[in-house]
Chain A
Amino acid sequence: MQYVDKSGQAVYDASFLQRVKEASRTNIDCCYQCLTCSLSCPVAFAMDYLPNQIIRMVQLGLKQQTLTSSTIWICAGCETCVTRCPNDVDILRLMDALREMALREGVEGRERAIAAFHHTFLGVIKKWGRQHELSMLLQFKLKTKDFFGDIDLGIKMLLKGKLKLLPPRFRGSKGVRDIFQRIDRGLDGGERT
């Protein structure tokens, strides 16, 4: 059952809560809105919805609102909420599940640069098996069109030998690529990486 708003976007999705509970494997129903998570969150100041609000939104089936939020991408993964939640709700795992769902369903939220970062990072791992910061940074800069941000840092790091020019080469890189390819081919439900 879905309600739609004026633009035809589904506002409420009855299956959302159940799917999120299955994907995150944590009992969101235990949340009693004590706000410990939101008050502990170091990046709450940069979010549009607070973590406790995201939990409530999920419980209410507000899928579109949740998956397009800044919050799910701004979450820094610091595990502070998880550590302090009195009901053992794994809020980070919830955020991971929401991000994964947003990507699978092609929902673009408000934090495209952050999603682009993860995509670029993993793309380099897929290709070389280990990170190659130089090519990762260049690709990220191209994607976000932020060519001059931190350029001074980049040059300094290059000069200090902190950014290797050549990508890593080792036997295991093929094994890593195989893992990506098997997952891409849908052995776990058609995930795009």
Chain B
Amino acid sequence: MKYAYYPGCSLESTAKEYDLSVRAVCSNLGIELAELPDWSCCGASSGHSTNRRLAHALVLRNLALAERENLDIAVACPACYLRLRTTGKEMKDDFQQREELVNLIGMPYEAKYDTRHLLDIIYNDIGPERVKERLTKPLEGLKLVSYYGCYLVRPPKVVAFDDPENPKSMDMLLDALGAEVKDWSGKVDCCGGSLSLSKREIASQLVGEISEMARKAGAEAIVTACPLCHLNLETRQAAGGQKKLPIFYFTELMGIAMEIPGAKSWLKKHMLSPLSLLASHGL
């Protein structure tokens, strides 16, 4: 299977470890990722929040580039995933809007291809059983909770490859890695997203609630698939009092369980080091 890989802006910088782990894990599993040449920013939340046409145009440019390559897009960042899917769906459903936007960006586009999230590809196409076969170091004893956040599961008509209120794909994948996956109620709660910059007290409130729920469920760490959730969970947990929970990208844990060379180096980029937690479990 081959995809046009759309890293998105965060995976080039603040979430570089996510990018590295995605590429390494996909290579190991036989998922070919060909980075989309000349990809540009999807507009993230600032696009659709202030200018709907701009948001569609910025995304459409990338959809058109992928169509040129005759490939579906594979994406790791859920915000990019939502933007790519939202515009993709509107271009499929609304021919008139498609024509206007194709004119605006000056590139041909026929809505032939699709966008998929890597959790979807790994869970549904590869499957936890095949992942289990490739493990050499099961994550025994590591108590985790899966944090899906918003855009992997909402809005269901646009993005859903899993249930919007109680998704299970990441849980099952982590279970296949040998970890002790705890059930909890914070799975799809919002971390505050980009409000973390302009209204940090809101993010602190939300992250405080999420991390408290994780602790109550018995988790030692939270696993996520989103660069901004990862950053918020790492940087907005309350100082003092309880020890902060480290945060993993699900692909990082796959890399550790599959003993991919260099996996530990990804973790060195974290703001909250998970290395001592892993060491305490002999991982």
The chain A residues found within 8 Å of chain B, CB to CB, are 42-43, 45-46, 74, 76-80, 82-83, 95-97, 99-100, 103, 111, 113-119, 121-122, 125, 129-131, 133, 137, 140, 144, 149-150, 153, 156-157, 160-164, 168, 170-173, 175-176, 178-180, 182-183, 187-188, 191, 193
Which residue in chain B gives the minimum CB-CB distance to A114? Answer: B198
B16, B194, B195, B271: most-surrounded residue (chain A CB, <10 A): B195
Alpha-carbon gap, A183 to B199, bound state (A)? 29
Contact A80 B154 (CB under 8 A): yes
Q: Known contacts being A78-B193, A80-B154, A125-B41, is A182 close to B104, with CB within 8 Å?
A: yes
Tell me, yes or no, whether B278 is within 8 Å of chain A by CB: no
Contact B13 A133 (CB under 8 A): yes
Tell me, yes or no, whether B49 is within 8 Å of chain A by CB: yes
Alpha-carbon gap, A144 to B199, bound state (A)? 12
Q: Which of B2-48 contact A (CB under 8 A)?
A: 9-10, 12-14, 16, 38-41, 43-48
Tell me, yes or no, whether B205 is within 8 Å of chain A by CB: yes
Which residue in chain B gives the minimum CB-CB distance to A140? Answer: B197
Min CB gap A45→B, angstroms:
7
Q: Number of residues in B with C-beta < 8 Å to the partner?
A: 53
Q: Is the interface of A mostly helix, strand, loop or mixed?
A: helix
8 A-B pairs (CB sep. < 8 Å)? A42-B206, A79-B155, A131-B44, A160-B268, A160-B269, A172-B39, A183-B53, A193-B50
Tell me, yes or no, whether B105 is within 8 Å of chain A by CB: yes
One of B54-62, B66-74, B133-141 contacting the partner? B54-62
Contact A162 B16 (CB under 8 A): yes
Contact among A162, A168, A179 with B269 in the assembled complex (CB-CB below 8 Å): A162
Contact B61 A83 (CB under 8 A): no
Contact A117 B46 (CB under 8 A): yes
Contact B202 A74 (CB under 8 A): yes
Contact B58 A125 (CB under 8 A): yes
Alpha-carbon gap, A159 to B184, bound state (A)? 35
Contact among B104, B195, B200 with A76 in the assembled complex (CB-CB below 8 Å): B195
Contact A121 B46 (CB under 8 A): yes
Q: Known contacts being A160-B271, A164-B13, is A43 close to B58, with CB within 8 Å?
A: no
Which residue in chain B gives the minimum CB-CB distance to A72? Answer: B49
Q: Known contacts being A76-B195, A157-B14, is A176 close to B58, with CB within 8 Å?
A: yes
